[in-house]
Homo-oligomer: A and B are copies of this chain.
């Protein structure tokens, strides 16, 4: 359930384990099961174009996906719940078989993991924006004129060099990209119930860090955070731009039970963008290498193939083009993945799933709650159509599948689950 505190990750490992969809005593096979590839096109689900009545996926020429659909069980994925629009974190946690509501993860933790920072239990992380304030301390640009990666990195280093560390707390700043950075606090008795200091628009002053509730740990941590942010403001006082930091998504880190623990699966993630590598590493997937294109994503998958039991492969452009409202761009992004598909099917995994972490219809321009067309190719599939699209998946054998149950289907088709009961 959502806690009253809202967004923050307060679930203990035991609680997470108890929320697994699989019965606790259902044996999961280890080394002897089949291999699984989960190919995620971010924001895959769409809405029909008013001129044609066809969604982005149905408009795209996808001969390889269609051929795959003809030997797949089809269905519609309901990532988090009816009417719930998933962020990327919950969307992917669901795909990986973790209850996305019970196992909620804070933005700060996602960002820290995304930049490869090795969080320890009890760490508190927040996402930072480099921002610009005027002489009166009023925000003029929440993104500090979108500095280059080099400029952003320089600002972070200046702060690192001059910060006086508060007593008993390690403070780490990590630059992510452009105006984006991450703050991690490490020490005894920290709390993560801290409200965002980002007022979300220019013309306002940054908000003073404050605890959202009354727990002493979060109150103490909020004071530490404000002290650090005050120092940052002093250190950067003379800069015309990028002279302050805004913090949001404070989140404490509790390790998740890993893929290997839960499924006996050694897993690897191949994803161009840090956030997706972050979620993957959160559940214990190996992240070995960073592809810089869709082509190199497939190359990296090919290099890894044979070494792991589970392969998570992430393509981002479908979501990005849809966020731009670019219907044809999303169509083209789908077609590009389709053109790469023969190399993926050629690997001969026992189970190949193609899905998305949520829908991002180009006509809507943002994530939505709509079901996501999904195919599961396997020798044990019950095929029902010769095309991959919202319409064919709607009539598929899997029906509407809760996101967190997709992994159970993957494991079953890979002969990795025992029979349940006599």
Contacts and interface: CB of A to CB of B under 8 A. Distances in A.
Contacts of A24: 1-4, 6
A84 interface: yes
Interface of A: 1-4, 6-7, 18, 21-26, 47-48, 53, 55, 76, 78, 80-91, 100-101, 104-107, 110, 249, 361, 364, 366-371, 380, 382-384, 390-391, 394-402, 405-413, 417-422
A90 B89 CA distance: 34
A13 to B, nearest CB: 14
Contact of A408 (B1, B81, B398): B81
B371 A411 contact: no
A73 to B, nearest CB: 8
A401 B23 contact: no
B400 A390 contact: no
A408 B48 contact: no
- A contact patch SS: loop
Contacts of A422: 87-89, 106-107, 110, 249
Taking the full assembly, how many copies of this chain does it contain? 2
A417 B367 CA distance: 12
Nearest to A102: B23
Contacts of A369: 408-409, 412, 417
B25 A382 contact: no
A420 B44 CA distance: 17
Contacts of A400: 398-400
B382 A370 contact: yes
Contacts of A399: 76, 78, 371, 394, 399-400
A189 to B, nearest CB: 24
Given A23-B101, A369-B412, A364 B390 contact: no
A419 B47 contact: no
B367 A85 contact: no
B419 A86 contact: yes
B249 A87 contact: no
Among A85, A396, A419: residue with most chain B CB under 10 A: A419
* Centre residue among A91, A101, A367, A421 by max chain B CB count within 10 A: A421
Among all A-B residue pairs, the 10 with the closest Cβ atoms:
A83-B408, A399-B400, A87-B421, A83-B412, A82-B405, A107-B422, A2-B24, A90-B421, A83-B409, A6-B25
Nearest to A249: B422
A128 to B, nearest CB: 14
Given A371-B397, A399-B76, A86 B390 contact: no
Nearest to A383: B48
Contacts of A394: 384, 395-397, 399
